[in-house]
A = this chain, B = another copy of it.
Amino acid sequence: MPDAALLARLAAAVDANFEKEVGFLADLVRFPSTRGNEAPLQDWMARQLAARGYGVDRYTLAEVPLAAHPKASPMVDVSAATSVQVVATHRAANPTGRSLILQGHIDVVPAGPEEMWTYPPYSATIRDGWMYGRGAHDMKSGVAAMVFAMDALKAAGLEPAADVHVQTVTEEESTGNGALSTLVRGYRAEAALIPEPTGGTITRAHTGTLWFRIKVRGVPVHVAVAQSGSNAIMSAYHLIQALQAHTATLNEAAKHHEWYAGIEAPLKFNPGIIRGGDWASSTPAWCEVDCRIGLLPGADVAEIQRGVERCVDQAAKSDNFLANNPPLVEWHGFLADGYVLEPGTEAEAVLAAAHAQVFGEQMPARITTAVNDTRFYGLYFGIPGLCYGPKGEGAHAFDERTSLDHLKQTTLAIAAFIADWCGARPVS
């Protein structure tokens, strides 16, 4: 834990920089960095970090042998060559402390119909201490916090006494391949902090996520079938209902899970996108549904995949249209494990102390039913993955927003954590 004098210096630096930090976050939010459109923001980010004196490695997913890693996820409808990653490194001379990765994702999910937003989704409007916008909360606020936590040390005349990689990645919302690519490229540290907007809680466990596309396509057999309402759109619905029932079964089993027993129906199934048919007066011959299903930490991805495929196969047998036109299941994104940050790591203890110092209370733990990138560090590379960050609302929803007061405190907590974990010494 940094001493009170050091904390005061950091707090003064965060305060002094905070107007700039809010402006930085607004700049981030104004980039419509949806999947496939992150490159301009990453280019900007690389320049921002280079200007701060970091050694910047900007590369694309096409430059990394991702496919060779068993935990890479398929990328469909998106180009690896424009999926830009940024790793900005502070290399300590004669490092004496513990090294650290700070990582945030800058991809955001689509805004949806713009008229459903009170303020335009990429306007970064501020009202009553909240900044509104797609990504303001998930997780550009966290990216601002980690960048300005490092800035605070510098403004206080300090630098980490160990190597720190400040990384901004893509694909967090769809595959996790951005985070994985930094590890495949070779970046390592003794701990990784991902400041997802957890509202000042430490993420004890997250579920895994699988993405799949159901493709229904075929020729209606005869008019009688069309009359009964069996066509590609209705048959897709039949499959969705079967998957809802399948998910309910999985949630029954979840009642005995070490970490998820207390969570009501932790495994979510979501039919998120649908498209089908060409003409109001033609029987639709095709329909596609993009789906998401969760899995528990410890569950085997391949086994859950087979369960989904079996469910779809069996449901197809009981549908007029599908029995003659078997549907396909395409795995087109996330094949993500769940992860538990086992209690007791030194990294968590240092973070908890910093949190307590800034917020004046113990750091609560949360169990989440969404996925995040810490799994790559914790499960496959033996690096404790801490998921902890600012407070906001409306991830993936309308009127997404982040609390600016909380952002300032979180920035300080992360700065204190860096100072303690890495050690802080006067800028040489």
Given contact pairs A217-B116, A397-B219, A271 touches B244 in the complex (Cβ within 8 A): no
Name the CB-closest residue of B to A209.
B281
Q: Are A271 and B219 in contact (CB under 8 A)?
A: no
Q: Which residues of B contact A273 (CB under 8 A)?
A: 276-280, 284
Given contact pairs A116-B285, A280-B291, A281-B173, A244 touches B217 in the complex (Cβ within 8 A): no
Q: Are B396 and A112 in contact (CB under 8 A)?
A: no
Q: Which residues of B contact A343 (CB under 8 A)?
A: none
Q: Is A227 an interface position by the 8 A CB rule? A: yes
> For chain A residues 264-291, which have a beta carbon within 8 Å of chain B?
264-265, 268-287, 289-291
Q: Is A321 an interface position by the 8 A CB rule? A: no
Q: Are A285 and B112 in contact (CB under 8 A)?
A: yes
Q: Which residues of B contact A234 (CB under 8 A)?
A: 240, 271
Q: Is A229 an interface position by the 8 A CB rule? A: yes
Q: Which residues of B contact A388 (CB under 8 A)?
A: none
> For chain A residues 98-154, which have a beta carbon within 8 Å of chain B?
109-113, 116
Q: How far is the CA of A267 from the CA of B271 in the complex (A)?
A: 31
Would you give the 0/1 interface string for A169-188, flagging 1 where the beta carbon is closer than 8 Å to chain B?
A: 00001100000000000000
Q: Are A292 and B280 in contact (CB under 8 A)?
A: yes
Q: Are A333 and B280 in contact (CB under 8 A)?
A: yes
> For chain A residues 242-277, which have a beta carbon within 8 Å of chain B?
244, 264-265, 268-277
Q: Which residues of B contact A12 (CB under 8 A)?
A: none
Given contact pairs A110-B279, A211-B280, A229-B244, A287 touches B272 in the complex (Cβ within 8 A): no
Q: Are A283 and B396 in contact (CB under 8 A)?
A: yes
Q: Are A270 and B274 in contact (CB under 8 A)?
A: no
Q: Which residues of B contact A269 (CB under 8 A)?
A: 229
Tell me which of B227, B244, B283 contacts A272 (CB under 8 A). Answer: B283
Q: Which residues of B contact A174 (CB under 8 A)?
A: 280-281
- A322 smallest CB distance to B (angstroms): 16
Name the CB-closest residue of B to A217.
B113
Q: Are B398 and A285 in contact (CB under 8 A)?
A: yes
Q: Is A44 an interface position by the 8 A CB rule? A: no
Q: Which residues of B contact A397 (CB under 8 A)?
A: 219-220, 282-283, 285
Q: Is A231 an interface position by the 8 A CB rule? A: yes
* Central interface residue in A112, A270, A280, A398, by most chain B CB within 10 Å: A280
Q: Is A226 an interface position by the 8 A CB rule? A: yes
* Central interface residue in A110, A116, A269, A273, by most chain B CB within 10 Å: A273
Q: Are B268 and A272 in contact (CB under 8 A)?
A: no
> For chain A residues 21-54, which have a beta carbon within 8 Å of chain B?
none
Q: Are A282 and B272 in contact (CB under 8 A)?
A: yes
Q: How far is the CA of A122 from the CA of B286 in the complex (A)?
A: 20
Q: What would 11 more interface pairs be, CB under 8 Å, given A116-B219, A273-B278? A: A109-B282, A110-B278, A112-B278, A112-B282, A113-B217, A211-B281, A226-B268, A227-B265, A227-B268, A271-B284, A273-B280
- A selection of 25 A-B contacts at a CB cut-off of 8 Å is A109-B278, A110-B278, A110-B279, A113-B285, A174-B280, A209-B281, A220-B397, A227-B264, A231-B270, A231-B271, A233-B240, A233-B274, A270-B283, A272-B278, A272-B282, A273-B278, A273-B279, A273-B284, A274-B275, A275-B275, A280-B291, A280-B333, A281-B292, A282-B396, A283-B397
The 8 closest A-B pairs by CB, nearest first: A110-B278, A272-B280, A282-B396, A273-B277, A280-B290, A280-B292, A281-B292, A109-B279
